[in-house]
Amino acid sequence: MKLQFFGAARTVTGSKHLITTQRGTRILLDCGLFQGINTDELNQKFHFKPSEVDYLILSHAHIDHAGLIPRLVRKGFTGPIYCTPATADLCRIMLLDSAYIQEKDLKRINDRRERQGRPVLEMLYEAADVEQALSQMKTVDYGQTFRLNQDEVSVLFTDTAHILGSAAVSLTVQEDSREVRLFFSGDIGRPHDKILKMPEPFPQADYIICESTYGDKLHEPEPDMRKHLLRIVHETCVVRQGKLIIPAFAVDRTQELIYALDQLESDGKLPRIDVFIDSPLAVKATQVMKKHDECFNPELRAYIEKDGDAFAFSNLHYISDVEDSKAINERQEPCIIISASGMAEAGRIKHHIRNTVEDARNTILLVGYCGPETLGGALKRGDREVKIFGETYTVRAEVEVMDSFSAHGDYAEMLDFLSCQNPAQVKQVYLVHGEYDRQVVFRHNLQSAGFRNVYIPSLYESVAL
């Protein structure tokens, strides 16, 4: 049996791992988009034949895990795509959004390449490819072992509590003389997520492909997030009569904020101000989330039982229409605007920041990871001047950071996640989805926990199992 790493090898994006069994069955784990600087060409070519892949198993809907599925289909993959029901529903909205971004970005990228005298790139995919990919999806719930093919490969999804629908994948492969148990972690979430359940234990494996994003890091102990948020709301909207602008990822992060505000409102603590969710993707993602309460933790279920809806309260407004979004900018009254993208490098949030950043009454609150080259990154760093749509703006608004949100476990939480395993029975751990320096630290941590053989594969490397 052979395992090849076609992405997320010594980096955090482009997750793609191909298994070829002894009998020649080809199973692709994830088909993610490479993201970040200089990845345009990387996403064009697969380095394997999509038409020769028999099955795709998808861990979760994040674009760095699912974002190249429509291209795989466009290039000839006709097999089934297995994922959880929530992942399939999220893929519908996220991949259509991704196709729209691809089409929009391609023109800009190719204009630049033409100026540089480099060959232009072909379209990665379009909406029709997304529709085709969605038609190939087959959903399976957590905890239901299913067969991929006749008496060779069986699969089990277990919850990793990373985002709605996220799953780890346990594969059991029958060979002529042995049975091989392979585990793929996908992305590992954190215990005590505000919305999701706890990460689940999984069956003993012989080989483990494990993420390592925070392999060298321990998260700060979480302060009281609601209290922190309420202080910022009060200082901005009540004391200074300003606007609170929050760039947030449309999926999960936005719903965590809505739920926190909903709870504050229920407790009578939230001032009477309007709250706008200004992102078509976030509006759709909230609908998907409401539909999949099977993924919710007991606290959230109990809250919904009492409150009726954890994502709706009297002053909360969901905005999809562009004209409605523009109208928010005209408002003078204090309000809270939550909008995407999370790093403020694209989307409606850029307009909101442009309109508020030079006024000291306002606050920009950063709640997630921001790449250093993004607008969110510049604000987080404390830059006094920022560029938005080519113009320079002076930062007079307050900039606040809340780091209590993270969808990835730190190394202690990942070791805890792996503690369901007898390390002596694990022949090899392969570290993926992490920067190399962090992976080296995580390898040491795993070895200290008894996992003797830990390997850090490089891109396109092939290993025999």
To Zn ion, the closest distance from the beta carbon of 61 in angstroms equals 8
CA 219 → CA 141, 159, 163, 375, distances in Å?
30, 21, 18, 24
By CB under 5 A, which span of 152-160, 179-187, 218-226, 300-308 interacts with Zn ion? 179-187
| Among the residue ranges 14-22, 54-62, 101-109, 344-352, the one whose residues contact Zn ion (CB under 5 A) | 54-62
Tell me how far, at minimum, the Cβ of 464 lies from Zn ion, in Å: 28
CA distances from 158 to 6, 63, 166, 385 (A): 24, 20, 8, 46
- Among the residue ranges 8-16, 27-35, 55-63, 147-155, the one whose residues contact Zn ion (CB under 5 A): 55-63
- At 263 the three-state DSSP class reads helix
**Is residue 30 close enough to count as binding Zn ion by CB under 5 A?**
no
Q: How far apart are alpha carbons 173 and 182 in whole angstroms?
A: 8
Contact call for residues 27 and 465 (beta carbons, < 8 A)? no
Residue nearest to Zn ion (CB): 62
Chain centroid, CA 370 distance in Å: 13
Both tokens of residue 392? 């320079």
Residue 189 C-beta: closest distance to Zn ion, Å: 9
The residues near 155 (Cβ < 8 Å, ≥ 6 apart) are 57, 82, 140, 145, 146, 147, 148, 169, 170, 171, 172
Question: Which of the ranges 60-68, 260-268, 315-323, 440-448 carries the binding residues for Zn ion, by CB under 5 A?
Answer: 60-68
Bond preceding residue 341 cis, omega within 30 of 0: yes
Strand-pair partners of 208:
183, 429
Q: Which is nearer to Zn ion, 62 or 352 (CB)?
A: 62
In terms of CB distance, is 393 or 442 closer to Zn ion?
A: 442
- Window 181-220: contact mask with Zn ion (x via CB under 5 A): ------x---------------------------------
Binding test (CB under 5 A) with Zn ion, winner from 10, 62, 71, 433: 62
| Minimum separation from the CB atom of position 60 to Zn ion (A) | 6
Nearer to Zn ion, 62 or 348 (CB): 62
Task: Give me the least distance between CB of 395 and Zn ion, in Å please.
Answer: 30
Q: Given the rule CB under 5 A, which residues bind Zn ion?
A: 62, 187
